[in-house]
Structure 1
């Protein structure tokens, strides 16, 4: 009886292999670009995956004396002190969503570990590389220097690419002490 069961299973395996559809050809797939989507000043942006090491809810923070108003404070995240910055206030605006929707994009480089607070996060966003385009007019002047083009999603919506690296290299951002 076990020989019969073995032959039935072998026959089933053979039929499965012959009727299985193959995987799509690799050359048919368009190159893709991925980033973390977020909202700031009422507009959607996307930051390159390589610029954001973590996405988290807004933790409690301790205020710091003698700093710019856009510095929210320091937060203890898994034993590390994470400075938190209100990105909308840095650009001269204000947050438009309640605190429960605000998120922190963690920027971590060799010399900088910072939490950038944004109105809302949309998680990973994927775009085809050929949908890259220049940013149209209408971008707030204070943000223009931090945007490196844009991607169009499959619905035709434009997502400007916000460079966290440019933010980390900006002297106004890295020198947050009141003068």
Structure 2
């Protein structure tokens, strides 16, 4: 029970920091997440609210990465398994425990897409100072890939431009 409470407190602090970063300006640049072992950075201006996993109503005849729709704070959102979409692989099987630890990151309402991305975990906020180096997206990378950043421990983080993702044609076509 204490681990659930600690997780709620962490999520609450992270939400407060996100709000503070948005109102104070340039304190943080990205929300750091993990999806199927891949470290990703979402620009704060593109990320919306963070939700715990919830029941998702599946939709027939859609791609494996499109998990379905869910009611998030009174709004109907499409739910996309980001790792499955980026990797273009089959469905990712997750246990109930893994789903309980995962999070849904809604896209910022200014992007005009009622969508939330399933990620496996949160790693907090990052600033430019968190990284030792950066490089442009690899040759042939999807249009929504931004720079690749390397942190002080040598771990690589891929920036995902959520605005470009929300306009990416394969992302918009959920039907098979």
Q: TM-score, normalised by structure 1?
A: 0.68
Q: Deviations over 1:123-147 (max 9, x none)?
A: 222332884521586x9x6x54322
The match for 2:19 is: none
- Pick from 145, 148, 151: which aligns with 1:150? 148
Shift of 1:63: 1.1
Q: Deviation per CA, 1:48-91: give whole Å up to 9, x if none.
A: 10110112211111111232222111111121111101112223
Residue 112 of structure 1 is matched in structure 2 by: 113
Q: As a proportion of its length, which structure holds more helix?
A: 2
SS of 1:99's equivalent in the other structure is helix
Residue 177 of structure 1 aligns to a residue in which SS?
coil
Indicate conservation of the 8 Å contact 1:37/1:125, yes or no: yes
Q: Mind listing any 5+ residue stretches in structure 1 that lack a counterpart?
A: 1-30
Of the three residues 156, 168, 172, the one matched with 1:174 is 172
> Structure 1 pair 148/132, CA: closer, same or farther in 2 (3 Å)?
farther
Change (3 A) 1:129 1:70: closer
- Greater radius of gyration (CA): 1
Cα distance 1:68–1:144, how it changes in 2: closer, same or farther (>3 A)?
closer
Q: Tell me the distance in 2 between the aligned counterparts of 1:130 and 1:176.
A: 35
RMSD (Å) for aligned C-alpha atoms:
2.8
Q: Which runs of 5+ in 2 are unaligned?
A: 1-25
CA contact 2:107–2:162 (8 Å) conserved in 1: yes
TM-score by length of 2: 0.69
Structure 1 pair 114–120 and aligned structure 2 pair: CA distance change class (3 A): same
Match of residue 53 from structure 1 = 48
SS at match of 2:29: strand
Secondary structure of 1:100's match? helix
